[in-house]
Each structure stands twice: as C-alpha cells, then as structure tokens.
Amino acid sequence: GRLAAGDVIHFTVCGSSVVVVNHYLVINSMKKSSYVPKPMNLASNQWRWLEDMASKYKLSSTSKAMRCCINCVALGDAQMESDGGCCGCNNTITKEVELSTEQLTWVEGQYNQCDDDNNDDSTLSIEQKVVSACMKLDEYTVFGIIRCKSSVAKCEGAQEAVENIQQQFSVEKDEVVTKENIDICAKNCGCE
C-alpha cells in the first residue's frame, strides 16, 4: 500500500522514528521512547535476582531492573565477560520484558559485534551476560546511579529515583550520582 501523510513507520534506530508528512519522509527524534515488549530467556536465578532487586529498590517492575542492568553495562559501568560465567543456564525461563528502542538496538548491536569480533563460543545470550555482569557488581553501581536520557530536573522518574536512592543508600540528595543525557547507542561496549 501507499503511505499517507501522518503514517508512522516503526523500525529500530536509536531515538528516531519516521513520519510521512506531505509524502516526504521526516525523521523525528523522540524525547521519550516508549517501551517495546521483548521475550527474554534468562536463568531462573537471574529472574529471581531481578525480581528481588526490583522489590528492594522500589523499581516499578522486573523490566525496570533489566533496563537498569542494560544501561549499566552499555555505559561501561559493568563489563560482560566473553564466556559470561555460569548463570545456571540449564534452568532457563522465558519471560517478556519491556525495553526502550535504544536498549533493543544496543542489545542487537552486541549480538552483531560479538559475532563479528570474537566468534564467541559462549552459549550465554547477551541478556544473560548483562545480568550476570550486574549480579557480580555491588548493588549501588547497578541501581544507585541514575542514568537518565534527559536531565534529572526534566524527568519525573529520575526525580523519584533520587528520593528512593536517598532512602535506600542513606545518602543526601547532592551525593546521588547521576549520568544525564545518556545515549547508550553512542557507546561502543562489546564483549570483552
């Protein structure tokens, strides 16, 4: 069929969507990405850890805990190991999580990079490696640092996170570590 003015074409490109305006394609930068459901196969102990962390740190969902993990690794605060270590992979469960389009792009890029660069023999998925890397870190590094696509002042969710972090880690507001205006697609973090 033909595209009409106002039609939206969805595809995965960091922070962009395409809208047809007067039969011309216009790329629009999205200020706030919507979340896309993605089936994810993780070890049962990894799901349990994500659920525990979501509860402990008052996150809205297990999906939010996974998004924190992806951002932590994508920004270089945690390193995936090429072998990924053991995560109890013999007992895996598939559940659906919601990720931003940027996070989906980053995950797909890691699969492509690992295939191209390392000929990785690991049986672990990128998602399993991400969670495994975060499970090895101190919880503050994963869940106590705010990683925000805009600025904390402009983001209600980040402001709420500051309050939660203050309570959870007994820190003052000015002691909460923030990383603002992040772009995980611009960071080149691979399987190291």
pLDDT in tens, 39-95: 999 999 999 999 999 999 999 999 999 999 999 999 999 999 876 555 555 689 999
121 versus 130: the higher-pLDDT residue is 130
8 versus 114: the higher-pLDDT residue is 114
pLDDT at residue number 23: 41
pLDDT at residue number 13: 44
Q: What is the pTM of this model?
A: 0.74
What length does the chain have? 192
pLDDT at residue number 186: 75
Half-sphere exposure of 126 (CA within 13 A, CB side): 19
- The CB density around residue 138, as the number of other CB atoms within 10 Å, is 8
Phi and psi at residue 122, to the nearest 5° = -60, 145
CA angle, residues 56, 95, 145, in degrees to nearest 5: 35
pLDDT-derived band of residue 31, with 50, 70 and 90 as boundaries? very low
- Give Cβ neighbours of residue 178 (< 8 Å, ≥ 6 apart): 145, 146, 147, 148, 152, 158, 162
